[in-house]
Structure 1
Amino acid sequence: MKILYFASLKENLNTAHDEINVVSPVSISSIKKQLINKYGAQYFPENIMCAVNHEMANESTKVCESDEVAFFPPVTGG
């Protein structure tokens, strides 16, 4: 499964993407746990945003191997 990273998350991880192996279907929560094990919890806080195939998703969203999952920090305005 292709995982994309954006904004400061991409900079902090020093990569724009990953490929991970999953057994479909899998929840976003499970994917986050894999990524936390790889990179550390500080990069994937509870308020991190996620999209699946360019649509916003939440922790319980189920995804398949062919889906594209993106993570990015919360956006603030001013």
Structure 2
Amino acid sequence: MKIIYFASLKENLKTSHDLINFDAPVSISFIKQKLIEKHGSEHFPNNILCAVNQEMAASDTIVKEDDEVAFFPPVTGG
């Protein structure tokens, strides 16, 4: 599964994506936990946003191997 990173998350991780294989469909929260184990919890706070196939997704959303998963920090503005 290709996991894409955007904005400051991409800069902080020093990569635009990760490739991770799962044996079965998994939830976004499971993916996030695996990414925390790999990169550290400071990069994946509770308010991080996620999209699956370019649509916003919740932590309990189930994804399959061929889905596109993207993580990005919340957008702020002034």
Residue 40 of structure 2 corresponds to residue 48 of structure 1: no
Q: Which residue of 2 aligns with 1:13?
A: 13
Identity of counterpart residues, as a percentage? 69
> Which amino acid is 1:75 matched to?
V
Q: Contact 1:3 / 1:17 at 8 angstroms: preserved in 2?
A: yes
Could you tell me how far apart the structure 2 residues matched to 1:23 and 1:73 are?
A: 28
Distance across 1 between alignment mates of 2:76 and 2:4: 20
Q: Deviations over 1:7-50 (max 9, x none)?
A: 00000000001100112210000000100000000000000000
Which structure 2 residue ranges, 5 or more long, are not aligned?
none
TM-score (structure 1 length as normaliser): 0.97
Equivalent positions of 1:1-78 (< 5 A) are 1-78=1-78
Unaligned runs of 5+ in 1: none
Aligned length: 78
RMSD: 0.6
Q: Give the 4+ runs in structure 1 shifted more than 4 A.
A: none
Question: Counterpart of 2:35 in structure 1: which amino acid?
Answer: L
Residue identity opposite 1:11 in structure 2? E
